Amino acid sequence: MKLNLRYAVVQGSMRTFLAILLLYSSAFAQRHIKTSEDLGGATNIRADIKLGAVNLRLGGVRNPDKAFELNYAYQSDQKVPKLMYEVAGTDGVFRLSNDKGQTSFPLLEFDKQKDSVDLGLSTEVPVSLRMAFGVCDAMVDLGGMEISDASFSTGVCSFDLNFSKPNKIKCDNLSVKTGISSVTVENLSNAHAKSIEFNGGLGSIKIDFGGKIVTDCDVRVKTGLGSVDIAIPSDINTTITTPESFLTSVNVAGFYSQGGGVYRSTDKKGPQLRIHIESAMGGVNIRSY
């Protein structure tokens, strides 16, 4: 009789444990949004994306008829992300946002459970892109798209930006504004941008101007406290202006000095790449390859 009683107690405890585990699992189960929309007659897209705590992958759509393709995973106990696409005349307007990580103290949100977002935007029409991140890991590849202009704003973020293929059109302006971030940019010449701006707070910025430059480009890099590393192909007609401050160490390799913190490539023709760097404190390393 004692044995049966002990078995009943254990069995009851196990049921209670399983019930608690089920409730816990349900509370933190993931929900998925998987959707896409046709262009719907739009001849250009304006995309406005505001995401807090998120793991993001962004690139071109797989189906060229689509304005966007989205696969979004989030915790079931969180608010449903907001998504909208509508066509007004010839403009396709795309908006995506969540409420995670919108805080004045982003470091407190660093370990917060992040939404997972895989987003593709059209490769067939010009895209004007505005993106703001809170606490994130973001990988953005705009190669092979038609980017007319783009801006990125990050909080606490690891941000990788790539133009793995040439932009199909010229980009008027590309800007990246960071808070406490590690930023890596690859194949930036493929952006075909007329103007590029990096504004960094605390962290590191690594820029590679690989690809093919097709238009004169003015680049401004401004940092507070951190490091700037820039790599430039040797065949690009380049002028670089570096900071002259005892708080910033500057190392330039592969360019000749004109004095006053100005460096140039030797005897190069073609589109001009003009880079102006301002750094309050940190290190600036520039090399030709």
Domain limits, the chain: 2-215
What average pLDDT does the segment 260-276 reach? 93
d(CA 287, CA 231): 5
Mean pLDDT of the chain: 88
CA distances to 59, 126, 197, 286 from 133, rounded to whole Å, are 16, 22, 17, 28
DSSP per-residue letters across 41-93: T-SEEEEEEEESSEEEEEEE-SSTTEEEEEEEEEETTSPPPEEEEEEETTEEE
What average pLDDT does the segment 229-233 reach? 97
In the prediction, which pLDDT does 7 show?
A: 43
CA angle 47, 60, 174 (to 5 degrees): 55
Residue 4 has pLDDT above 60, yes or no: no
In the prediction, which pLDDT does 161 show?
A: 98
In the prediction, which pLDDT does 105 show?
A: 45
Closest CA to 120 of 95, 141, 89, 90: 141
Share of the chain above pLDDT 90, in %: 70
In the prediction, which pLDDT does 113 show?
A: 75
Taking a C-beta distance cutoff of 8 angstroms, is the pair 146, 123 a contact?
Answer: yes
Q: Express each pLDDT in 62-121 by its tens digit.
A: 999 999 999 999 987 778 899 999 999 999 999 999 976 444 444 444 445 789 999 999
Residue 98 has a CB neighbour count (10 Å cut-off) of 24
d(CA 246, CA 173): 32
In the prediction, which pLDDT does 78 show?
A: 76
d(CA 74, CA 51): 12
Q: Which of 20-34, 86-100, 233-247, 252-266 is the least confident region? A: 20-34
Q: Express each pLDDT in 7-29 by its tens digit.
A: 444 455 555 554 444 444 444 57
d(CA 76, CA 88): 33
Taking a C-beta distance cutoff of 8 angstroms, is the pair 164, 141 a contact?
Answer: yes
Taking a C-beta distance cutoff of 8 angstroms, is the pair 24, 87 a contact?
Answer: no
| Pairing, β 44-51 against β 127-133 | parallel
DSSP per-residue letters across 139-184: EEE-TTS-EEEEEEE-SEEEEEEE-SS--SS-BS-EEEE-SEEEEE
In the prediction, which pLDDT does 76 show?
A: 73
In the prediction, which pLDDT does 86 show?
A: 97
Q: What does the block give as tokens for 263?
A: 């460096």
Helix or strand holding residue 11 (H, E): helix 2-27
Q: Express each pLDDT in 110-165 by its tens digit.
A: 445 789 999 999 999 999 999 999 998 999 999 999 999 999 999 999 999 999 99
In the prediction, which pLDDT does 243 show?
A: 86
Taking a C-beta distance cutoff of 8 angstroms, is the pair 279, 245 a contact?
Answer: yes
Q: What does the block give as tokens for 17?
A: 């444990």
d(CA 43, CA 191): 20
Instruction: Report DSSP state, residue 193.
Output: B
